[in-house]
Chain A
Amino acid sequence: MLELISPIGYPRIQAQADRRRLDTPVGGRIGFIWNQYPATQHFWPHLERAVEDLCKPSAVRRAYKINTWIPLEKTQFDSLAAAVDYFVIGVGA
């Protein structure tokens, strides 16, 4: 008979509990940052409309990047960040 020790690690409950839960974005100010990645060009407008219908934001700001790989200009990002409570960000492929 072979006695075997399991190699499995179980999720660390404390680590999960420490994750901050977001407050509701309903009624808040929402910003959209989108990289205009070709594969998302049909999807993204639907997502924006759905978020706006769902959250009824008090204000909306949009920033559409012209290149997938490049972060938004810091000054532009700082300006947006000061004007919204939440961002919806489209990244990657």
Chain B
Amino acid sequence: MTGEPMARRAEIHQVESIEQFIDLVYEQGWTDGLPVFPPTRKVVDGMFAYLGRNPGEVLGTVFPGDGEATVENVVANCAMAGCLPEYVPVVIAALQCISDPALLITTTQSTGSASICTIVTGPVVGDLKFHTREWIFGPNGGRANACIGRAIRLILWNVGRAHPGKLIKGTMGHPASWSYCIGEEQEATPWEPMHVDFGLGPADSAVTVMKAGEHSQIAVPFNTVGLNECVTLLARGIGRLGITTSGGKRGFVFVINPTLAQAFAQAGYSRAKLRAAIAERAFKYSYDWQNDSKQGKAVPFADRDKKAPSERGILVAPITPDEIVVVVGGGVAPQMGQCVAISSRSSAGKPMLTRKIQFPDR
């Protein structure tokens, strides 16, 4: 017989009560610390029935423990996270990004404590009732946001064995890692879904998985400073985040609220034009950032710091539009723009990966 080896099937446990289940979860190390739902036979079978896939089907290998992700153990983690069956295809698409060697999530296990951020785009956001407005990054009461993010974290924990101090060595951790998932605003956005930038169609639904490092809020008061200055504020956000990806590909996600997106759109900005404008402005402000080999000669930090900023020269490679992603989401605030900027941690592999979500045929 050739081909893939048979996947090892999940162990079955029995408990007599919820109280026993809680004890079991912590004894077995099935959770990262937060309480979880019981992955009962009934719940799990409901998800199998929705998916119509073989529980033993192998979906990928999850770093760092090289754990084999199967439909069965992925569904069990989804059940523990509180997912509805309809959420599981989103989780599977994210898992396929995570296990793709092109993304190479090794940097999320390193001392820098990067996290996995998942951005869901397209009609699925409305279908699954993602909370896309105020407190988009949570907590916001949105079941899809919280449970899909939790499922991805639990898969990293239980399948990838990403246990701190053992297989992952992040020095500080990342508070968003408990659940780091958003859906892009559908109704109040002036543009097509973000994934159209990555070659998918506007009617598609997709996930984008990012190896996320810094996460920073930027106030963008366009009513007082004007849109031109707003581009500068966004670009300077890259400087605040820092560029920690030297040697690898960089990536910056700007989640801007619908009010700001509409203001840019009314001023004639497409999403591509805004990405290009931020990149161009970032180049202008880049002299104060970390070194990068693409600019040629290395300047030791000690020597660099002796010089005034204006004498240091541009030490980083220019930011390019393809390193910038603009996502729409967050609260609608009259005349007030707000942004969350996230930088990638990607010393190897791509900073982010997008994949179309495949739903069961009905």
Query: Interface residues, chain A, CB within 8 Å of chain B?
Result: 1-16, 65-67, 69-71, 73, 92-93
Contact = CB atoms under 8 A, between A and B. Distances in A.
Interface residues on B, range: 35 or more
B61 interface: yes
Contacts of B10: 5-8
Contacts of B158: 7-9
A7 B80 contact: yes
B305 interface: no
B300 A12 contact: no
Contact of B70 (A4, A9, A69, A93): A9
B68 A69 contact: no
A3 B14 contact: yes
Contact of A11 (B66, B155, B246, B291): B66
A70 B159 contact: no
Contacts of B272: none
Given A12-B66, A16-B66, A7 B30 contact: yes
A1 B69 contact: no
Contacts of B298: 65-67, 70
Contacts of A12: 58, 61, 66-68
Contacts of B291: 67, 69-70
A9 B67 contact: yes
Given A2-B16, A3-B14, A4-B38, A11 B67 contact: yes
Contacts of B13: 3-4, 6
Nearest to A12: B68
A71 B76 CA distance: 42
A32 B5 CA distance: 40
A15 B291 CA distance: 37
A7 to B, nearest CB: 4
B65 interface: yes
B105 to A, nearest CB: 14
Interface of B: 4-5, 8, 10-18, 21, 24, 28, 30, 38-41, 44, 58, 61-62, 65-70, 72-73, 75-77, 79-80, 110-111, 154-155, 158-161, 246-247, 290-293, 298-301
Given A1-B15, A70-B293, A8 B66 contact: no
Contacts of B12: 3-6
A31 to B, nearest CB: 18
Contacts of B79: 5
B152 to A, nearest CB: 13
Contacts of B161: 9
B65 A11 contact: yes
B14 A2 contact: yes
Contact of A2 (B4, B15, B80): B15
